[in-house]
Amino acid sequence: MSILPWLTAAWLFGIGVYGVVTSRHYVHLIGCLTVCQSATYLLLLSIGYWWGAGPPIFYDHPPGTPAVDPVLQALVLTDIVVGAAVTALLLVIALQVHKRRGTLDPQSLRPLRPSQ
């Protein structure tokens, strides 16, 4: 089953999008977006994985021992940090929407109009 990780990543992304599509609340929607994003973590880490390889840290074993791909691990780190910051920003925006409109249901929100 060498394609199982790729399919799992696709499935994670899919259920995230399903959650976004059927969402009734913006905070739930932001959570679903995070699920979508975790699909990218899984995909990147799976691409970088080698059977039988250790962590790419050569503190107690010498350089040259098999180690997983450090470039993809660094990419996942970037992904997580940016994801956390953007989630915080989205939550703030949801907070502002709730203050102005009193609701966070995407169904009942209408486009912004200039205030009379």
Partner 1 sequence: MTTPWRLALFVLALIVLVPAVWHVALALPAFGAPTEQYGAAVNALLTATRHVTNMVAAVNFDVRGFDTLGEESMLVCAVTGAVVLLRGTRGESMTDRAGKIPGRAVAPRTDATVLVCRIAATLTLLFGVYMALHGTVTPGGGFQGGAIAGSSLMLLYLGEGYESWRRMVRSPALDVLEGGGAFVFVGAAAVPLMLGYALLQNVLPFGTPKDLYSGGLMVVANFAVGVSVAGSFGLLLLEFMEETRSPDSESMPDEED
Site track 72-101 with partner 1 (rule: CB under 8 A), x = hit: xxx--xx--xx-xxx-xx-xxx-xx--x--
Site track 17-56 with partner 1 (rule: CB under 8 A), x = hit: xx--xx-----------------------xxxxxx-x-xx
- Interface segment toward partner 1; rule CB under 8 A; list 13-21, 27-35, 108-116: 13-21
Would you say 78 and 45 are in contact if contact means Cβ atoms under 8 Å apart? Answer: no
**Hey, what are 36's tokens?**
């979508």
Rounded to a whole number of angstroms, the minimum distance from the CB of residue 47 to partner 1 is 8
Q: Which residues of 64-86 are buried (b: 16+ CB within 10 A; e: fewer)?
A: eeebebeebbebbeeeeeebeee
Amino acid in the structure at residue 29: L
- Interface segment toward partner 1; rule CB under 8 A; list 32-40, 71-79, 108-116: 71-79
Nearest to partner 1 of 35, 47 (CB atom): 47
Residues 6 or more apart whose Cβ sits within 8 Å of residue 4 = none
Using CA atoms, how far apart are residues 26 and 98, in angstroms rounded to an integer? 9
Using CA atoms, how far apart are residues 25 and 37, in angstroms rounded to an integer? 19
**Hey, what are 56's tokens?**
């790419």
Where do contacts with partner 1 occur on this chain (CB under 8 A)? 2-7, 10, 14, 17-18, 21-22, 46-51, 53, 55-59, 63-64, 66-74, 77-78, 81-82, 84-86, 88-89, 91-93, 95-96, 99, 107
